[in-house]
Structure 1
Amino acid sequence: MTGSGLPHCDADDLRLLNVLAYDGRTGLTELAAATGWSPSTVRRRMDDLQAQGALHFYTEFDVAYLGYRAGTRLWASVPPAELTAAGEALASHPEVVFAAATTGPTNLAATVICTDAHDTFRYLTQRLAALPAITHVETTPIIQTRNASAVSCGPPSTAEACAGDRFLRPGERDSGSRLTFTR
């Protein structure tokens, strides 16, 4: 983590954020030991970082418990001038749990969660097809998710460059690439 672009984030904050990046479940006592602060200072600083938008918490769980058993990765092509509007429209769909603008021939990526294969087909042929800016889409079903609840990257000092699961795009070969997690 570099801290660039983070509001009011100094070296002490980076130490705190690196420990949380390694394990977001780390308790106040352990965070206090890692930063040299008191637990009340840690709590206050975490509250400040959250309020400034530098610290976010997300919860992951198995959506199959809610009846959603068909996850799909989407890679879509959109003319650059329409990318923002198309991305915002796509992200507003309740089936979309992640959407991002990317570079390359497919410049809009998303993860869609549906109840089953039929529901996924309906989503692709009705809701997604209703977005006129999307000129091409490729899909990959999510067969298995590994390490969704935690990413083990080693100690916080090495959390910036760790291996993780990698999903291949259609037609792409696995080159053994590593993902780099940076801010």
Structure 2
Amino acid sequence: WLAVHVVTIVASYGAGMLAWGLADGALLCYLFGRYRTMPDGERRPPEICSTLSELLYRCMQAAVLLLVVGTILGGLWADVSWGRFWSWDRKEVWALISLFVYLLILHARYVRLLGEFTLAIGAVLGAFAIIMAWYGVNYVMGSALHGYGAGTGSLFYGGLIAGLNFVLILAAVIRCSWMTRKR
């Protein structure tokens, strides 16, 4: 079960990272793209934003499916290896947090609480949960059962990436709000 568990979890994290890349691409389009003026005078974001939103939504769905399967397979492997399905190890907890973050975002989109723009922001937040599960647990917190890769990680690069994404989100919010305001 270990090999299948690891491959499935890595694939789920890959789908989440792909959603993050698409979300950043969408946010850049909201920031720098050409807004369309409709016949009634309403301004709408660039059309590519809708396409990117649909793609990142599908990537997030794949990430959730793979994360559920990978977590269950990890539990089966843990039960055989350690005699218990779940041990509340930091890595397990952050995988579960990542799953809940993505489920919350997908559910909010499904019930139409999130639009295309806010879905892109949600995909960035979901990716940060994955980064914490993958990198933060090993290099920032240190881990017990999942102690592989432990060492001295750098918070600088993680902070830089988070800061740049925050600036991108803020700038895109300002531009999109300005361009789509009622005139």
TM over 0.5: no
Higher normalized strand content (fraction of residues): 1
Higher normalized helix content (fraction of residues): 2
Higher relative contact order (CA 8 A, sep 6+): 2
TM (normalized to structure 1)? Answer: 0.26
TM (normalized to structure 2)? Answer: 0.26
